[in-house]
Structure formats: structure tokens, C-alpha cells
Amino acid sequence: MAKIEKKRGSGKILGALALVFILAGLYFALIEAPPDANQGDVQRIMYIHIPSILTAYLSFFIVFVGSCLYLWKRERRDDILARSAAEVGVLFTALTIVEGSIWGKPTWGVWWTWDARLTLTAILLMIFAGYMMLRSLIEDEDRAAVSAAVVGIIGFLDIPLIHMSVYWWRTLHQPPSILRPDKAPWENVHPAMLIALAINFAAFLLLYFYLLSLRIRVGETEERVKREMLGGIA
Amino acid sequence: MHLEVRRLSKSYGFAWALKEIDLELRSGDCVALLGPNGAGKTTLLKALCGLLRPTMGEICADGTKLRHGPARLQPAIGLLSPGDHLYDKLTAEENLRLFLALYNRQENRGEIGNALAAAGLSDWSGEYVASFSSGMKCRLSIAKWLLLDPKLLLVDEPYGVLDGSGVDLLETHLKNVCRSGGIVVTATHHVTRAVALCSRAIILRRGKVIFDEAKRTPWNNIYRAVEEFLPKGESWPS
Amino acid sequence: MAFLRHTLWLLWKDLLLERRRHESLLAMFFFGTLLLFIFQFALDVQPEKAADMAPGLLWLALVFCGTLGLMQLFQPERENHCLDALLLAPIDRAAIFLSKVLFNLMLMALLEIVVLPLFWVLFNLAAWDRLPWVFLYGLLGTVGFCVVGTLFSALTLTARGREILLPLLLLPLLIPVVLATIRGMEIILRAGDFSESLPWLHLLIGFDLIFSTAGMLVFEWVIES
């Protein structure tokens, strides 16, 4: 119990920090940073769009690490880590797509387009979704964990290849799009914009790890309950 | 061969199928594995041959820990499960040829023919297994293990499908395995036959070993132990 | 070379069973041909556009048929607990993987040998001399499909709703293969300049190598019970 209490304590600190950074980030993004020369205020969504997609990819990396560890050591907690990272990852990926759409409507006039980035994010979402469906459709828990771990590893190995293929598809023989929403932000950019981006990035990371820690705690509690239901061997 | 099982446990979801099983098996042991339905006999057999990953505990063969997956120890272990492990749309001969190859044994036409003849299936060597009765499939499995000659042979409920001569065939084969230094474990409900055949009895009940003794005369302890799951009216050899 | 021997014996077993059970190849062939006809009606492919649309349609048809084949892939092992028999045997489990990949590959290659020329005729594609190159891309793409498909077919063996789950898991991960094969074929059919399609060819080969290796390494865990 002491261990759980300690975790809850550190979780709260994480949550509090996340809140502080989110508020700071909002302030910088909406007030301090100047509007973009070309796109105006709608560009401000990039302050959360970029961090959220990066966090989504970080999530997948954690799924990969958890999966590898689980296949190697077969310890439940690695499986819980992978599963939790996948769930929170789905959230952030879906968020990214919604943000992208919100940006897209005033900018391109459409809610959706098959440009490289949106397409890639949608694919990532599908892989996450498949991972979670697989877990819920296999009865035997140990098999489900092993199968999901394999999918996590294969999926992670595939992501660079998916990236390359989708980018080439969209750029080779395709005229470059006039508006490049996420050109590297450190080229000739107002310093306040960089600060806003950095703070929001930190905010998202903190928020992500806070949610992840919550989900892991739920997972560990579930695991304890299951073990108690199983009962002692006697 | 010396097999040590230490604190072997297996859970399925919310129930323990095996609970801290401790066993030792030595060359020449012919073991009857008895117990009521749901005692965990099949689970134990599968764990012994590496088809199941134990939840806890370990199995050591000749000092080496049996890593999950029997490939490390093969071809020493066989599992005879009537009706199973045979391809329906292959002929009897093709099945045997396939498994000989997978077990790294040199194929010898005469050898397959002899095994089939011993099992009483000479006339059926070119027929698909799909057309076999369950007794014939069991005989084919016996022929298969005759050929592959494992050092540990696990048998799961063979008596239900075999006729008189089939039973004789099986029991002769099992006795031969033990005589040549192998180990046999037969899981069954047919207490009287198993006790007559084997030199040792292990009784499982709800995943635990409640009885583990070598045969003796008279064997009064075992009568008491099996009483609860012996069918009414079944009589003991005197 | 016990590994190779075991793989070949397992392949022999699958080929023999396929010949006797007729479960996969015929179904795949008829379904593939049917799809091509339906595409023609549904999309009203104009002759000028045929070369552009052809690779995409061809691959759609092949992916559907391939998924049918994947569903059936481990069917013989599901009966009579034969999978346990293979797991009991002293073989490297990667041999089971490789034999199934090769078996699936052979089925699909046979399918393509028949469907590709049929496709050429139905869509009035010119330049029969380009067919071998198109076939090469098709083959490399099929290898990628078979490798990842076999892995996932085994993974989902005990899952409920397998008919939906398998394509759902498989198709996003096969996007590099699908894109590379289709784009490569397009380039060949259109301009005929092979070097232009090289990046796609490299991607395909890379994909095939990476996932064949990964598949052989992880299959051990995929298949155990």
C-alpha cells in the first residue's frame, strides 16, 4: 500500500506540473506569440498540433519498448506499460487528427486531405486501434499479451517504412504544396513563437506522462485484483 | 533419464489447474496418472512435454532446465493423444513419413511398413486418416511412437477407443519403453487396467498430488485414494 | 541443414493437402477474376486511363484474394491439434513460418501468373514486353504480403472475429508494400524508364528483408500456446 501511496503522490505532482505548463503554454500561445505573417491566428493551433503528434510517436516508442521487455522477461508490468501507452497514444493521435482538421478547414477549405502528414497520422491511429482490438479479441490473457507485443514490435519497425512510402507518394510526381504547415520552426521565427512551442511541448509531455501513470496504476490495480481472485495456491 | 518437477503451477484465468506439483521420474518408471475429471491430468502431461508454459515452477531433465518449448530436449518426449496429431488428408504412410523426417530419422520403407503391420494397419497404409475410426487413429499414433522411440512417452486417455487387441498392443509397447530405460506416464480413468500395467501411481485432485507411491503388494492405500472417483460397481483385482 | 529439410517437408505436406482439399487456390482464382470483372463494371475504366488505374486495381484484387488465402493458411494445423504435433517435434519453429510463407507465396504466384495476363487482356494494356517487369514488382510485393500476412495469420489464430481482425491489423502495416508495388508498376507501364522506379524497388526489397528476418525471429513466440 505504501508503494501505491507514494505513486499517487508523485502522480499528483506530475499532474500539477502539467497543469501549470498547460496554462503557461496557453498564455504564450494565445497572447505572447505574434500571429503568423501568412496564416494569421489559425496558425496558433500548431503550438499544440506539433507537440501532440510528437507525443503520439513517443507513445508508440514506449509500446515498442514495453513489448520488447515483455517478450524477453514476461513480466506483467511491461505488458501493462505497453497497453497503457497504446491507450493514451490513441487519445493523442486522435487529438492530432482533430487539430489537423481544425487547422485545415480555414486554410485549405476542406476538413480532410490526403497529404502526407494527415495520412500518416491516420495510419498510426489505425495501427493503435488494431493493437487494442487484438488484445480484446483474444480470450487467453497471456496469449493476448504476447500477440500484442509482437504487433507492437512489428508496427514500430514498420513506421519508418510507412513514412518513406507515404512521403514519396505525395512528393515524387506531385507538386509541392504551397502551404507547408510544419516547416521547421526554428528558421527565421519570432522568439516568442519558439518559447510558446517549447512550453507547450513540455506541457504535452507532462500531460502525457501524467495520463500514462494514471493508466498504469489502473492496470496494476486490475492485475492485483485478478491475482486476488485467483487466490492462493493452497 | 531423470525428470524433476519442482513447484509446477499453471493458472487459467481465475483458476489454478496445477498447484505446486513436485515430482521425480526415473528411467524405467511406468506411471499411472489417475484422478477425477478436471483434476489436471491433461494439463500436467502438456506441461511435461513443453506444450504449456507453466505459470510458476520448473521442470528439469537430466539436470538441464526444460526451457519452454520442447525443441531443446527433442526427440526425447512423445505425447500420445488418441485422435490428435495426425493430418486427416494425408495417408497413414504419409503421416508417418512426415513425422520421421521432422524427428530427424532416416526414412526406411521397411520400417514404416513394419510399424503399420505391428499396429494392425497394413491394409490401410494408403488410406486417408480421415476415413479411420478413432480406434484406428489411436493405433496409428501407437505406430508413430513405435517408430520415433521417445525416452519419455506421455499417454492421454488411451483406453476409451481401443479394442482388446489394441489395448494389448499399447500395453506391450509401453512395457517395452520402460524396459529399455524410458519413462511412461499414462493418464487414465481406467484405474484397474492402469494399476495392473504400471509400477507406480500418482493421483491428482484439483491440481494437487494427493498420492504418489510405487506399487506394492497388497496396495491398500491406493484403494482408499481412488474410491471417490471409481465408478460404482467396478471391482478390484484381488 | 536440418532447418531447410524440415521447411521443405512441411511445404510438401501443405502442397499435398492443398491439392487434395482444394481450399485455397480455386477460391482465390475465381474470386480474383470476379473482382476484375466487377471493377470494370463499377469503375467503367476507359482505355486511356487503363494504364494508370491498372496497377491499383490489380493490387486491390490480389490483396483481397491473398487475405482469403491467409484465413485458410493454418487450417490443417487447427484440425486434430496438429499444431501441437509440430510444436512437439524437434524442429526450429521458424521452419514452420518459412514453410507457410513459401506455401502462400507459391499459391499467390500461381494466381498472379494466371491473373496478370488476364488483366492485361481485359484492360487492353499494350506493351507485352513490360509484363516481366510488372511481374517482378508483383512478386516482390507478394513476398512482403506473405511474410507479414503469415505472421498475422498465426497471431490471430485464436482470436474472435478473425475475419475482420486480420485485414484490420494487416492492411495498414502493408501500406509500404502496396504503395511501392503500385507506384513501381505505374512507372513501368507509363514511361518504361526502369531507373525511375528504383527507389520503390529498394523500399520493397528492404521491407521484404526486414520483415522476413523479424518474422523468423518472433515466430517462436507467436505460435506457442
Report pLDDT for C70: 94
pLDDT in tens, A84-128: 999 999 999 999 988 888 887 877 777 787 878 888 889 999 999
Domain ranges, residue B50: 2-229
Element (H, E) at B202: strand B200-205
* First-residue to last-residue Cα distance in chain B: 34
pLDDT in tens, B6-31: 999 998 877 889 999 999 999 999 99
* pLDDT score of B174 more than 60: yes
Report pLDDT for C104: 95
Chain center to CA of C54: 18
| Among A12-21, B23-32, B188-197, the range of highest mean pLDDT | B23-32
Chains linked to B by 3 or more Cβ pairs within 8 Å: A, C
A159 touches chain C (CB under 8 A): no
Cell of B67: 526451457
Cell of C11: 511445404
Which of the pair, B66 or C152, is modelled with greater confidence? C152
- Residues of B with CB below 8 A from A231's CB? 16
In a domain, B237, yes or no: no
* pLDDT score of A62 more than 50: yes
pLDDT in tens, B194-238: 888 899 999 998 889 988 888 877 777 887 788 777 766 665 554
Cell of C210: 526486414
Cell of A102: 481544425
Are the beta carbons of C85 and B94 separated by less than 8 Å? no
User: What value does the mean pLDDT take over residues C88-107?
Assistant: 93
Element (H, E) at B113: helix B109-118
With bands split at pLDDT 50, 70 and 90, how would you rate the model's confidence at A233?
low
Report pLDDT for B32: 93
Q: Above pLDDT 70, what percent of chain B?
A: 92
CA distance B90 to chain C (A): 7
In a domain, B221, yes or no: yes
User: What value does the mean pLDDT take over residues C56-74?
Assistant: 90
User: What value does the mean pLDDT take over residues B163-181?
Assistant: 91
Q: How many distinct structural domains can be found in chain A?
A: 1
* Dist. CA C79–CA A92, nearest whole Å: 43
Report pLDDT for A189: 66
What number of CA atoms fall less than 13 Å from residue C97's CA on the CB side?
24
Which of the pair, C79 or B72, is modelled with greater confidence? C79
Rounded to the nearest 10 degrees, what angle do helices C198-223 and C131-155 cross at?
Answer: 20
User: What value does the mean pLDDT take over residues A17-32?
Assistant: 79
Are the beta carbons of B14 and A142 separated by less than 8 Å? no
In a domain, B186, yes or no: yes
Chains linked to C by 3 or more Cβ pairs within 8 Å: A, B
Domain ranges, residue A134: 2-230
Are the beta carbons of A229 and B16 separated by less than 8 Å? no
In a domain, B235, yes or no: no
CATH, residue B12: 3.40.50.300
In a domain, B97, yes or no: yes
* Dist. CA B78–CA B184, nearest whole Å: 10
Q: How many distinct structural domains can be found in chain B?
A: 1
In a domain, B76, yes or no: yes
Residue with cell 506421455: B154
What is the 8-class DSSP label of residue B91? B
CA distance B67 to chain A (A): 13
What is the 8-class DSSP label of residue A187? S
User: What value does the mean pLDDT take over residues B158-175?
Assistant: 91
- What is the Rg, in whole angstroms, of the alpha carbon atoms belonging to chain B? 18
Strand bridging mode B77-80 / B152-156: parallel
With bands split at pLDDT 50, 70 and 90, how would you rate the model's confidence at A187?
low
Measured at the CA of B77, the angle between CA B73 and CA B78, to 5 degrees, comes to 150
Report pLDDT for C46: 73
Report pLDDT for B71: 52
* Dist. CA A146–CA A144, nearest whole Å: 6
With bands split at pLDDT 50, 70 and 90, how would you rate the model's confidence at A176?
very low
What is the 8-class DSSP label of residue A181? T
In a domain, B236, yes or no: no
Report pLDDT for C225: 67
Report pLDDT for B14: 75
- 3-class secondary-structure state, position A143: helix
Report pLDDT for B129: 94
* Dist. CA C99–CA C92, nearest whole Å: 11
Interface of B with C in 14-43 (CB under 8 A): none
With bands split at pLDDT 50, 70 and 90, how would you rate the model's confidence at B76?
confident
- 3-class secondary-structure state, position B2: strand
ipTM of the complex: 0.89
Report pLDDT for B63: 77
What is the 8-class DSSP label of residue B150? -
Measured at the CA of C11, the angle between CA C7 and CA C13, to 5 degrees, comes to 120
Are the beta carbons of A123 and C175 separated by less than 8 Å? yes
User: What value does the mean pLDDT take over residues B28-46?
Assistant: 91
CA distance C77 to chain B (A): 8
Q: Which of A29, A32, A49, A55 has the alpha carbon at shortest distance from A210?
A: A55
Element (H, E) at B65: strand B64-65
Nearest CA in chain B to A233: B19
In a domain, B9, yes or no: yes
Are the beta carbons of C158 and A166 separated by less than 8 Å? no
